[in-house]
A and B are shown apart, each in its own frame.
Chain A
Amino acid sequence: MGSSNKAQIAGTGSEALFVSHKPSVFLSPAFICRILPTRPDRRAPNSFPVSTATAPAPIEGEKAMTALKSLEQEFPLLDINFQSFCASHSILTIADFLTHDLHSLAAAAESQPASLRLKEGISQVLSIVDTLHQPWLDGLELLQDAMDNKRVLSTGIAAVDSFLHGGLRVGQLTELAGPSSSGKTQLCLRLASSVAKMDRGSVVYVDTGNSFSSRRIHHFLCENGGPPSKQDDTGIVQRVMSRILRHSVFDINLLFNVLHQLEFILGSQECMEGCKVQLLIVDSVSSLITPILGGGSSQGYSLMASLGVLLKKLAHEHDIAILVTNHMVGGERGNPKPALGESWKSIPHVRLLLSCDYETNTCNISTLKHPSLAAGRSASFVID
């Protein structure tokens, strides 16, 4: 079904990579996901029927990928004839339908024997899509949501917490930029141990440079919690540390894999009370993106953009704080600036700059971009 069409779809945007082994771009479905329902918890719109009764509920936000086939039961117009017509245009899912040129599809339907029924089918699918928009929220509800779910996570360093008015905000994407050995990884490890200990949440740590040091985490945990020699203290440390999960990732496609797995798990996580993922750290995101940027190809940029979309989506929908680190490159006249260029700048909600004074071993943190704090402030701290 549809496999004979591989060659002809190779010209249409994201499908261009269908046949290649290069990193895959899936900008358009990601874009579609934004306009389709993702938060069924309030004012849930009609959900699609699940084809088999025993299967778990479909992943929210993934309905765009629902196959047309599974709609047949509820909408008899979308019969096997309609499905095979769509399949001959390589349309298998709702997302395909939306990204297809509907005028040419309607024109193609004209030439078919049952053209009227086919066109009715097309408008049927479109009306299904229409019912799937995001529910609107008023300011009061947003405020309620912000107060209930969008907490701040303490970094475990008093100076940084007061600088950021409490810490890292849940639901936001925070970027931490700084030169090599300025303390980025240390701050990440510190934050991970603080969240695992104080907030009793799970932390997912995506490590791209083999720089995850469990020894440092152990050190941070034992620092405030008394001597680890006692038997029950060791038990506590063990429990806290087993809430920090490390993924080693060395290429951007694997990162997408991990993030999609995470999304899948979070979508079916209601039973996992007390072990909610609260923090996602990607240290460092720039080392994965740098090898694919530039070189006259825009593919790297679109991967970077879809990564940004995915991260922000995860943060927003599942109430996770996300911290990514970025390195510095030489800019104009040798002044260092954060890597990844202009198009990355607009992605994170908060951008922080870290620098380190090697003589006093003091780290200095300042804001480059923050939605609610004045720019140009800074604070100093020491990570022991």
Chain B
Amino acid sequence: MDPWKLPISSAIQRKRLLSQSYTSHASASPSDLACADRASDVIYLLLIEPQVITSKFSVFSFLFVIGAQNAWDILLEEESMTRITTSCAELDKILGGGISCKEVTEIGGVPGIGKTQLGIQLAVNVQIPCYYGGLGGKAIYIDTEGSFMVERVLQIAEACTEDMAEYGRFLGKSIQARQVEMGPKDFLENIYYFRVCSYTEQIGLENYLDKFISEHRDVKIIVIDSVAFQFRQDFDDLAQRTRVLSAMALKLMKLAKKFSLAVVLLNQVTTKVIEGSFQLALALGDSWSHSCTNRLILYWNGDERYAYIDKSPSLRSASAPYSVTSRGIRNSSSNS
């Protein structure tokens, strides 16, 4: 297999191989190629396994195996995946069972509507053990505003433990014996909390997350509260802000996909002039609005809190009431 026949992405990579005398697969040992740093995995595999490319058909299937998945397999995989419950039955219903892993979900709303509460609730709920129908994972909580109240987390965690105990009694004693190991303190222990005080820290942290999560594979959710706060100041050049933000969005997408975890971004609202009138819109502008997979808007409808699915590739737009109680996010009081 000669280098100029390989599906190498750039002429420069190809040239590099040629310039280092890799004129055929026989002349290159795998360790040499590992040093040729920009040679992609594809070439590497092709070169060490020349028998794979004996027929054209196997080239087709072999290359398409790398990184590609067909829709049927994705469907089967998606259906077997557990979602993270929000502890509010109606909200779960419109979300198709809860917050989905492998996706980036943006949650926005006016101050005091319960964004942080929902964030904390999710960070606790992700830890519900598998035998209670949860994920048994851990959470990363990135706090940019300083609104994370640890007493509140303890409160929600206690409520969650009580609910689990009740559920355990309902299911029978076999589970009750096991649930002893999960107390409110354990919930707190499994939340990795990062405080971020500037946008450079935030970008730095997001670059570091890849490494951190590789070492903590059981992290199943990243909550960023709020994604906008640090980016709403100190930026003279808005074009630069757009670039930085869209690069950040891609990084979060990549994390979500690579480690099969949910990314939840809490966002603030801002006023925007649309056709002469002031309207509420999510912060960070139009180009940011494309950088999430799902978007959930929280709003007041009279005295009741409502959540509305504003964007989702797979869910219908719908709204559902919820309430914030001392025990966390729960069903709306008027319905229960």
Instruction: Give the B-binding residues of A (Cβ under 8 A).
Output: 1-3, 14-15, 17-18, 21, 24, 26, 28-30, 51-52, 55-56, 58-59, 62, 65-67, 69-70, 90, 92-93, 95-96, 179-181, 185-186, 189, 192, 196, 204-205, 208-218, 237-238, 241-248, 250-251, 253, 256-261, 263-265, 268-272, 284, 286-288, 290-295, 327-330, 334, 336, 339, 358, 361
Contact = CB atoms under 8 A, between A and B. Distances in A.
B53 to A, nearest CB: 8
B333 interface: no
A271 B313 CA distance: 35
Given A196-B71, A209-B293, 15 more contacts: A52-B2, A92-B19, A204-B68, A209-B291, A210-B102, A210-B253, A213-B313, A216-B313, A217-B75, A245-B70, A245-B71, A260-B9, A269-B56, A272-B60, A291-B243
24 contacts: A3-B19, A3-B20, A56-B59, A58-B4, A62-B5, A66-B4, A69-B23, A179-B286, A204-B68, A211-B313, A215-B78, A216-B314, A241-B70, A242-B70, A245-B71, A250-B250, A256-B9, A257-B9, A258-B67, A261-B42, A287-B249, A291-B250, A295-B243, A334-B274
B2 A55 contact: yes
A257 B315 CA distance: 32
Contacts of A26: 10-12
B310 A67 contact: no
A244 B70 contact: yes
Quick one: which of A17, A244, A246, A291 has the most chain B CB within 10 A?
A: A291
Given A3-B20, A95-B11, A214-B74, A257 B286 contact: no
Contacts of B292: 209
A204 B56 CA distance: 19
A220 to B, nearest CB: 11
A55 B1 contact: yes
A293 B274 CA distance: 27
A65 B57 contact: no
Chain B: interface secondary structure? helix
B129 interface: no
A208 B40 contact: no
B68 A247 contact: yes
Interface in B62-118: 63-64, 66-75, 78, 102-104
Contact of B293 (A62, A210, A216, A263): A210
A206 to B, nearest CB: 10
B12 A327 contact: no
Contacts, number: 225
B149 interface: no
Given A238-B72, A241-B75, A295-B240, A180 B7 contact: no
Given A208-B253, A329-B286, A334 B243 contact: no
Interface string B203-234: 00000000000000000000000000000000
A17 B10 CA distance: 11
B40 to A, nearest CB: 6
B202 to A, nearest CB: 16
B313 A290 contact: no
A209 to B, nearest CB: 6
Chain A: interface secondary structure? mixed
Q: How large is the interface on B (under 10, 10 to 19, 20 to 34, 35 or more residues)?
A: 35 or more
A55 B3 CA distance: 12
Given A260-B7, A261-B66, A293-B243, A330 B253 contact: no
B12 A67 contact: no
B327 interface: no
B25 to A, nearest CB: 10
A272 to B, nearest CB: 6
B138 to A, nearest CB: 21
A260 B63 CA distance: 11
Given A209-B290, A241-B71, A272-B60, A290 B243 contact: yes
B285 A330 contact: yes
A334 B273 contact: yes
Given A24-B10, A251-B250, A291-B246, A210 B257 contact: yes
A14 B256 CA distance: 34
B152 interface: no
Interface of B: 1-2, 4-16, 18-21, 23-24, 38, 40, 42, 53, 56-57, 59-60, 63-64, 66-75, 78, 102-104, 239-240, 242-244, 246-247, 249-251, 253-254, 256-257, 273-274, 285-287, 289-293, 295, 310-311, 313-314, 317
B15 A327 contact: no
Quick one: which of A24, A69, A210, A269 has the most chain B CB within 10 A?
A: A210
Contact of B104 (A95, A210, A238): A210
A336 to B, nearest CB: 6
B290 A284 contact: yes
Nearest to B40: A257
A208 to B, nearest CB: 7
A58 to B, nearest CB: 5
A288 B60 contact: no
A268 B70 contact: no
**What 7 pairs across the A-B complex have the smallest Cβ distances?**
A264-B7, A213-B314, A181-B311, A29-B11, A291-B247, A241-B72, A214-B75
A327 B11 contact: no
Contacts of A92: 15, 18-19
Nearest to B16: A18
Contact of B257 (A15, A189, A205, A248): A248
Given A209-B293, A269-B60, A330-B285, A189 B4 contact: no
Given A211-B293, A272-B60, A51 B2 contact: yes
Contacts of B102: 210
Contacts of B63: 261, 264-265
B2 A181 contact: no
A269 B11 CA distance: 22
A181 B296 CA distance: 12
Contacts of B247: 291
B103 A67 contact: no
B19 A1 contact: yes
A187 to B, nearest CB: 11
B73 to A, nearest CB: 8
B4 A2 contact: no
Contacts of A216: 313-314
